[in-house]
Structure 1
Amino acid sequence: MSETSDPQLALGDSAARQLANATKTAPILETISPRWLTLLLQWIPVEAGIYRLNKVSNAEELDVKCSKRDQSELPTIYADYDAAPREYFLNSVSTIVDIHTRISDLYSSPFDQIKEQLRVSIETVKETQEAQLINNADYGLLANVHPDQVVYPLTGAPTPDDLDELLTKVWKEPAFFLTHPLAIAAFGRECTRRGVPPPTVSLFGSQFLTWRGIPLIPSDKVPLADGKTKILLLRVGEKRQGVVGLFQPNLPGEQSPGLSVRFMGIDRNAISSYLISLYCSLAVQSKDALAVLEDVEIDKYYEYKHEYK
């Protein structure tokens, strides 16, 4: 055996790596989701953080009758307004990012430490925003479903019949269903079992299952507990008297609508601080713009896997 074949006399991998440059990634935040809900809503700028939702109070009384041909008298009506309309106040989702100046001075190549800390924190704030839009006890979607707009599944698992029932509640230009990804999978299995596999549609470069032409939008912020979740159906947009998002425009340090980043200074311990603030809310303009299918059961296999993994 020659001397050069002895591994003790050759440069090893561990030593050689000391001279190599590693290719590094920016910090990967696994909790980031597409946040389709915020993309699909119409966002309305709110002055002074207050949105007053005025409504006609005598809508059922507004009735126009056709007069007979030989009659010239015209019927008269008037719309009265709610004397105490609901007012929505923007909610704040905020956090402070602290970073030592020594860290940002010495270790900002190839990635800027301040920029990466802010990026990850902003993504977390936006994830919290979507969760609040769905689950906030005051303005969230689930807290603002009118009792007349709540339906329950026929068998537990989400079926085409259940989604058709939702469509009878939001039949005026429905925009999309919103539910947990596991509920979409369960609905797809029910459709396949019945021999009616749902078609797909492309939105934002991604494929979504549809029912009656309405896309099923996934969000892991829709609550899932004890093997059950919910399916929401929304009509969106101000012109359609639907669900709208609310934000504060023209914030100091604005990075995107309703979100700002402001430098708060450096303390005597050389810690630099940045305030991230996002102001938002949500309004359901009319009760028939939103409905929910409650107690939707996901497949027992998934329930088992999540309980015992």
Structure 2
Amino acid sequence: MSEQNPGQLALSDNAARQLANATKTTPILSTISPRWLVHLLQWSPVEAGIYRLNKVKNPQDVLVACAKRDESELPQTFVDYEDTPREYFLNAVSTVLDVHTRVSDLYNSPHDQIKEQLRLTVETIKERQESELINNPDYGLLANVTQEQIVYPLTGAPTPDDLDELLTKVWKEPAFFLTHPLAIAAFGRECTRRGVPPPTVSLFGAQFLTWRGIPLIPSDKVPVADGKTKILLIRVGEKRQGVVGLYQPGLAGEQSPGLSVRFMGISRNAIASYLISLYCSLVVQSDDALAVLEDVEIGKFHDYPDTYK
């Protein structure tokens, strides 16, 4: 018989836990975000990974007239097209996932090891996709804002006046503002300080601040540097000549639009490999579908000492 502690009257918690089953969660990946931008874009399938954006050349040269009743002559015109339209090619975000077969054979309960490895890798790829949609130097939103569609804040911090200025640039059915959560917080403080707290709207079961009825959508992929960031205003959809996401349909091993998972085989070292690829791009169909407020100062709560008294 084992020696007992004289003061011990019952089985201890530590000993009892040896017979208990712990409830195990799936792995928590802190970098997962809602990725609202991907949800809010219209996505268009492309053939052979190429999207050609045809535009009208010199639209102001298309002539029409409201003729008087007694005038028989009408203006003659035609609509010309650009000779060398821009072509967009799908970009691949991909990786190879390796899982030792011993792991999947022995440690597959209560959670499927391969399933969890694939889930976490796919989530990471989708996070990178949203970052590319915003920051890619070729097709990303920030790289495709024309000079005429760039505005600067009046005072540094984002104000209602600044967002109104953006609305003058994208006034044809704007869909949403897109910015870093810190900029949304800074805008909310400015509105509160001015006595015009912005209303909220419910989308996808979540609450968003709005301005002039347009929601402010947060994304941590919008860059922040030296205490400054940017606020974008976007019109979406092909019918509105707006911003459109592009993807390749019908991929081998397709899991969701543009995303494929393919088993590559098992090596002599008993490593099972899976190729995970996501093909996407983005096109701004018309220059006035996108505008940006540059050099937005995000500040801190202590920068507004009179706001929260």
Fold equivalence (TM over 0.5) = yes
For the 8 Å contact 1:37–1:130, the answer to whether it is kept is yes
> Could you say which structure has the higher helix fraction?
1
Q: Any gaps of 5 or more consecutive residues in structure 1?
A: 304-309
For the 8 Å contact 2:186–2:300, the answer to whether it is kept is no
Kindly state the Cα deviation for residue 9 of structure 1 after the two structures are TM-superposed: 5.6
For the 8 Å contact 2:245–2:281, the answer to whether it is kept is yes
For the 8 Å contact 1:101–1:272, the answer to whether it is kept is yes
In the alignment, the residues of structure 2 paired with residue 7 and residue 81 of structure 1 have an alpha-carbon distance, to the nearest angstrom, of 93
For the 8 Å contact 1:232–1:292, the answer to whether it is kept is yes
For the 8 Å contact 1:255–1:261, the answer to whether it is kept is yes
The alignment status of 1:207 with 2:207, answered yes or no, reads yes
In the alignment, the residues of structure 2 paired with residue 300 and residue 210 of structure 1 have an alpha-carbon distance, to the nearest angstrom, of 21
For the 8 Å contact 2:235–2:242, the answer to whether it is kept is yes
Runs of 4 or more, structure 1, over 3 Å off, are 4-10, 300-303
Q: Helix, strand or coil: the match of 1:201?
A: strand
In the alignment, the residues of structure 1 paired with residue 301 and residue 276 of structure 2 have an alpha-carbon distance, to the nearest angstrom, of 41
Q: Helix, strand or coil: the match of 1:43?
A: strand
Q: Residue type matched to 2:45 in 1?
A: P
For the 8 Å contact 1:227–1:300, the answer to whether it is kept is no
In the alignment, the residues of structure 2 paired with residue 46 and residue 232 of structure 1 have an alpha-carbon distance, to the nearest angstrom, of 26
In the alignment, the residues of structure 1 paired with residue 10 and residue 39 of structure 2 have an alpha-carbon distance, to the nearest angstrom, of 57
Kindly state the Cα deviation for residue 71 of structure 1 after the two structures are TM-superposed: 1.5
Kindly state the Cα deviation for residue 262 of structure 1 after the two structures are TM-superposed: 0.3
Which structure 2 residues correspond to residues 1-309 of structure 1 after superposition, within 5 A? 6-8=6-8, 10-301=10-301
Kindly state the Cα deviation for residue 6 of structure 1 after the two structures are TM-superposed: 4.0
Alignment TM-score, normalising by the size of structure 1: 0.95
Q: Any gaps of 5 or more consecutive residues in structure 2?
A: 304-309
In the alignment, the residues of structure 2 paired with residue 108 and residue 171 of structure 1 have an alpha-carbon distance, to the nearest angstrom, of 54
Kindly state the Cα deviation for residue 73 of structure 1 after the two structures are TM-superposed: 2.4
In the alignment, the residues of structure 2 paired with residue 66 and residue 252 of structure 1 have an alpha-carbon distance, to the nearest angstrom, of 55
In the alignment, the residues of structure 2 paired with residue 276 and residue 7 of structure 1 have an alpha-carbon distance, to the nearest angstrom, of 59
In the alignment, the residues of structure 1 paired with residue 80 and residue 143 of structure 2 have an alpha-carbon distance, to the nearest angstrom, of 27
Kindly state the Cα deviation for residue 7 of structure 1 after the two structures are TM-superposed: 4.1
Q: Residue type matched to 2:274 in 1?
A: Y
Q: Helix, strand or coil: the match of 2:17?
A: helix
Over aligned residues, Cα RMSD in angstroms? 1.4
Q: Residue type matched to 1:275 in 2?
A: L
Q: Residue type matched to 2:230 in 1?
A: K
In the alignment, the residues of structure 2 paired with residue 119 and residue 134 of structure 1 have an alpha-carbon distance, to the nearest angstrom, of 23
The total of aligned residue pairs comes to 300
Q: Residue type matched to 1:249 in 2?
A: P
The Cα offsets for residues 245-295 of structure 1, whole Å up to 9 and x where unpaired, read as 000000000000000000000000000000000000000000000000000
In the alignment, the residues of structure 2 paired with residue 247 and residue 263 of structure 1 have an alpha-carbon distance, to the nearest angstrom, of 21
Q: Residue type matched to 2:32 in 1?
A: I
Change (3 A) 1:285 1:302: farther
Q: Helix, strand or coil: the match of 2:77?
A: coil
Q: Residue type matched to 1:203 in 2?
A: L
Give 1:306's aligned residue.
none
In the alignment, the residues of structure 2 paired with residue 104 and residue 301 of structure 1 have an alpha-carbon distance, to the nearest angstrom, of 49
Kindly state the Cα deviation for residue 300 of structure 1 after the two structures are TM-superposed: 3.5
